[in-house]
Amino acid sequence: MSLVAALDIGGTFTDLVIIDSKSGELTQSKVPTTPSDLVVGIANSLKKASLDLKSCHNFVHGSTVAINVVIERKGANTALVTTKGFRDAIFIGRGNRPEAYNIFFRKPEPFVMRSMVFEVDERVLANGEVLQPLVDEEAKRVAGAVAASQASSVAVCLMHSYVNPSHETAIGRALTEANPSFTYISLSHNILREYREYERTSTTLINSYVGPRVKKYISDLEELLRSQGFSGLLSIMRSNGGTMSAKSAIDRPVAMIESGPVGGVIASAEVGKKLGYNNVIAFDMGGTTAKASLVKDGEPAVIEGYYVGGSTGGYIGGHPVMLPVVDVVEVGAGGGTIAWIDQVGRLRVGPQSSGAEPGPACYPNGGVEPTITDANVVLGRINPSNFLGGEMQLDIRKAEKSIEERIASKLGLSVIESAYGILRIGVATMSNAIRGVSVEKGYDARDFVIVAFGGGGPLHATDVARELGIPKVIVPMLPAHFSAVGMLQADLKHDFIRTYYKMLAASDFSEIRRIRDEMAEEARSILAGEGAYSKDVKVQTFFDLRYKGQEFYLSTPVAEGELISGAKDKIRSEFDALHDRLYGHGAPQEAVELINIRVIARATRASKLNISSALKASTRRELEKKFRDVYLESSNIKTICEIFDRDSLSTGSVINGPAIIEEYASTTPLRVGDKAITSSSGELEISIGK
């Protein structure tokens, strides 16, 4: 079995990449996503690519199914079991008011009704001691009440179970005995062993809320693959940038909430390192959204917790999930994002999207609302007869009609002026995503290069770079399938955490090593079950440290030698230096608290695939010169652009703007002053003109 495959489901298209690891032959396919049943779109992509699954030993998949369940609030009827006296903790949440002057602000509504929250008479203290024992009769009483509630899924989160999970384990057994037909049970100590009761409860609750849907989805996917002869390993992308087995995804679906976007970030880091750029900004524009993520010193930025499912997005309206995730800022500015006129007559773009069904107005069976894609077609930036390599013909007349009726006639502008305005606003929104991962995190965006991918990333990256003063844009090979490519380059990766609250100076390192070794052993066991060899497993240890009196902490790497020798002073000085680098100051005279011990375990199941060598093996062909009039610099002047087929470019090819570079499923425009050079491995390195 020599084939490996990766499948990425986006809001508009489903992308499949297949590589023969022996011959280097590469196959790609792109089909419309089927929101009503995602597995149908997967089946369509397999059929189009003629993938022989009998010869495939690894199938990697990134899915939006979990995040869609949260956003659409279409999860399971979930019950929550918690310690007596804490029934309302999930509804009270935090007292923070993120929008101080918004009188209409409302806290996000949890994914459980109050009538479905059940209290159990037990109590464990923060040090793990049992204050109120859990007797069998009480466990059976609560389990019976939950069974009678008609809940199909259950989340159990008891006070301080992160340090002593014995009561949660007993409740789990009682629930299974009371109703063996429960489709899903989540025990918080299996999901997250970290303090902060509200965040831990929210994370466990979301796991149970999305669990049944994710379980069915993955089961349906496994059945589809098996029916076509697949006997290899199905891997699922995690939010942290690694992969996990299908079984791990079913057990902890909350870990795949953000699995969709991270593949491209992983691949961006690899491309950057290959070309000598360790600091890059991954910029992904698909059919529904645009996303940005920072890669610093060759490593994607990872945050320890995030917010999902709010109507306004992010912290303001979201629910906390306390798991590591690649830091991605997402905005409503994809190819299918709709342009509209608001109540005071202003032109607005997004966040609403036409999605895969019906799609932009210019699509076959498309909608009637004008979108960013329609604007690009009208301005000549997209060739309507060469979209998806000619597989899909776009209707420029429908795009013009949509913009005329819904935008131009209301603003008193021409169709071209309106289309150009749509793009200007869209680019401004995309630029905000990049600011969100760079400037707002204390980094100067001009010190980075953009790696642009997704169907629309290369189409807009040069404009975004020019607006932000970023000097260079890299367009990788297979930009429209780049997230799928990244999935093939991702390691198996699992995160573990254990709260250990002590002053660093008073910490018992023999106890710390025992806790770390327990987590490391669990990690090795899971990775072995996912096909990793023990010699390939790498374990990293981190301490979550903070100055006494602070609310939040910094994850500080701890070397194995420091852990063995108990080098408290050295660990402390490394924390001081990290704090100073991130915040511009430190407090070496203040006491330091140790909050959590973290373990990150990863394993490379196969060597990194050389995507570019597979493509470079194809025959380059010289094409006759072609030109097209494009509204590139303004809405008043047409620019005569030479059109290049990317497949015809050889190593060292130099293209000076104005020009358009076309390839399957993506287009790269160059303005006057821009210069693109084809690297030895096939990437386009574009220097942005002044």
pLDDT in tens, 179-204: 887 779 999 999 999 999 999 999 99
Q: Residue 619 pLDDT > 70, yes or no? A: no
Predicted pLDDT of residue 316: 57
Rounded Cα distance between 646 and 275, Å, is 19
In a domain, 282, yes or no: no
What domain count does the chain have?
3
> Which tokens is 143 given?
């389990």
pLDDT digits (tens, 9 = 90+) for 648-688: 898 999 999 999 999 998 999 999 999 999 999 899 999 99
Same-domain pairing of 190 and 90: yes
Q: What is the mean pLDDT of residues 116-121?
A: 97
Q: 450 has which bridge partners?
A: 281, 473
Highest average pLDDT, of 30-34, 38-42, 130-134, comes from 130-134
Rounded Cα distance between 59 and 42, Å, is 12
Q: What is the mean pLDDT of residues 88-99?
A: 86
Q: Is residue 317 very low, low, confident or very high in pLDDT (cuts 50, 70, 90)?
A: low
- Residue entry with tokens 């009503």: 36
Contact 678, 663 (CB under 8 A): no
* Average of per-residue pLDDT values in the chain: 90
Predicted pLDDT of residue 75: 92
Predicted pLDDT of residue 502: 94
Residue-wise DSSP of 556-623: EEE-HHHHHHT-HHHHHHHHHHHHHHHHS---TTS-EEEEEEEEEEEE-SSPPP-HHHHHHTSPP---
Please count the CA atoms within 13 angstroms of the CA of 86 that sit on its side-chain side. 19
Q: 61 has which bridge partners?
A: 7, 236
Pick from 603, 618, 634: which residue ends a domain?
603
- With CA atoms as reference, report the closest residue to 513 among 564, 569, 572, 570: 564
Q: Is residue 321 very low, low, confident or very high in pLDDT (cuts 50, 70, 90)?
A: very high
In a domain, 226, yes or no: no
Q: Residue 610 pLDDT > 70, yes or no? A: no
Contact 171, 186 (CB under 8 A): no
Type and span of the H or E element at 493: strand 492-503
Q: Provide the CA 106 distance to its chain's centre, in angstroms.
A: 26
Residue 589's CB is within 10 A of a number of other CB atoms, namely 7
Contact 460, 430 (CB under 8 A): yes
Mapping DSSP to helix (H, G, I), strand (E, B) and coil, where does residue 199 land?
helix
In a domain, 300, yes or no: no
Contact 19, 606 (CB under 8 A): no
In a domain, 179, yes or no: yes
Rounded Cα distance between 674 and 311, Å, is 40
In a domain, 552, yes or no: yes
Residue 327's CB is within 10 A of a number of other CB atoms, namely 19
In a domain, 103, yes or no: yes
Contact 234, 5 (CB under 8 A): no
Q: Residue 350 pLDDT > 60, yes or no? A: yes
Predicted pLDDT of residue 395: 96
State the residue range of the domain holding 99.
Answer: 77-201
- CATH number, domain containing residue 513: 3.30.1490
Rounded Cα distance between 5 and 20, Å, is 9
Q: Provide the CA 330 distance to its chain's centre, in angstroms.
A: 9
Predicted pLDDT of residue 71: 79
Q: What is the mean pLDDT of residues 272-299?
A: 92
> Which tokens is 192 given?
């997250």
pLDDT digits (tens, 9 = 90+) for 203-224: 999 999 999 999 999 999 999 9
Pick from 549, 575, 603: which residue ends a domain?
603
In a domain, 399, yes or no: yes
Predicted pLDDT of residue 237: 92
Report in angstroms the alpha-carbon separations of 616 from 26, 345, 376: 10, 51, 30
In a domain, 528, yes or no: yes
Same-domain pairing of 505 and 590: yes
Pick from 404, 425, 446: which residue ends a domain?
425
pLDDT digits (tens, 9 = 90+) for 127-152: 999 999 999 999 999 999 999 998 99
Which residue pairs from 243-246 have beta carbons closer than 8 angstroms and sit at least 24 positions apart in sequence? 243/60, 243/487, 243/490, 243/491, 243/492, 243/493, 244/492, 244/493, 244/494, 244/530, 245/529, 245/530, 245/531, 246/218, 246/221, 246/222
Q: What is the mean pLDDT of residues 311-326?
A: 74
pLDDT digits (tens, 9 = 90+) for 479-531: 999 999 889 888 889 999 999 999 999 999 999 999 999 999 999 999 988 87
- With CA atoms as reference, report the closest residue to 523 among 544, 558, 492, 499: 492
Rounded Cα distance between 54 and 310, Å, is 42
